[in-house]
Amino acid sequence: MIEEVLRKKAKVVDEAIAKYLPVSHPDEMYISMRHLLDAGGKRLRPTALILAAEATGGKMENVLPAAVAVEMVHNFTLIHDDIMDQAELRRGLVTVHKKWGMPSAIIAGDALYSKAFEILAESKSEPARVVESIGLVAKTCTGICEGQWMDIDFETRDDVVEDEYLEMVEKKTAVLFAGALKTGAILSGAGKKEAQALWDFGILTGVGFQIYDDVIDLITPEEILGKAQGGDIMEGKRTLIIINAISKGVTIDVLGKSNATKAEVSEAISTLKKSGSIDYAMDKAVGFVEKGKSALSVLPDSEAKSLLLELADYMIERKY
């Protein structure tokens, strides 16, 4: 059922993106801004925001600007991530910086970021709640930058431990889920207890999502993933899988080797599977999601709450 809901919500969000981010002058800038947005995607974050709003008595149409804003923030981070990782593919398409050049890609990302706040301000709620949501999303963006900085720093270190990794993914990935959920609640008039519960749900399930995403990077073929399989290994990412394997004395010779062959990457993945580190990460992901689901116990039962719980399960069941 959740996949059907995701498709329906994604369609609504897609239509709202076209409304709030039309191609304007200079045309090519807006086309580059919409490059990844128009490529589709699961729209997990805006859907989570909408469901959080509905679970706390709000209406989807009132928070659509916020949902679009959150998706734009997410895509801004993807453009800049691809620049930093020198990635060539995203969602099966050539990345923005490969298509338009790095300077233009930086501008496209910056413009998405600023436009997101302009659109967020159009949310239909009490002025004080709109201001609070703007502050929350801004704080969330700072957290994302902190997490990205940590992620880059980790690539030069061999002594990264699990707790550091968990702090990094909480900031880099989970805070945007949490910020989306809490924003939906704030704009819909939720009390502090309910809004905090949705934040906690987002943090915990978001961490689980990222751990599982690291697993997907290794076990999903390129034609399904839309980017190179094992890219995290070639980029030297200190994922939970790598950290756990290193702690067991496992050596990954191609870690950080950007020109590694597919055969070398395949061998490294096989080594990680045999070490049990991929299974370890999977178990961790499931644990975080289950803990996150329990945070929603403070919310009254509703269809929207049930869908949020299904969404949490989907985060560690998806194939890409």
Q: Looking at the domain assignment, is residue 300 inside a domain? A: no
Q: Is the pTM of this model over 0.85?
A: yes
Tokens of 286: 């499931």
- Residue 70 sits at the vertex; the CA angle it makes with 69 and 75, to the nearest 5 degrees, is 95
Number of domains in the chain: 1
Q: Are 70 and 113 in contact (CB under 8 A)?
A: no
DSSP string, 188-201: TT--HHHHHHHHHH
pLDDT band at 224 (very low <50, low <70, confident <90, very high): confident
Q: What is the residue-averaged pLDDT of the chain?
A: 95
Residue-level pLDDT at 219: 86
User: 93 forms bridges with which residues in the sheet?
Assistant: 90
Q: Residue 207: inside a domain, yes or no?
A: yes
Question: What pLDDT is stored for residue 118 in this prediction?
Answer: 98
Residue 36 within a domain: yes
Residue 147 has pLDDT above 90, yes or no: yes
Q: What is the pLDDT of residues 83-139, one digit of tens each?
A: 998 999 898 899 999 999 999 999 999 999 999 999 999 999 999 999 999 999 999
Whether residue 1 is predicted with pLDDT greater than 90 in this model: the reply is: no
Domain of residue 91, CATH code: 1.10.600.10
CA end-to-end span of the chain: 18
Query: The domain containing residue 25 runs over which residues?
Result: 2-294
Residue 125 belongs to some domain of the structure? yes
Cα 10 from Cα 30, distance rounded (Å): 21
Would you say residue 26 lies in a domain?
yes
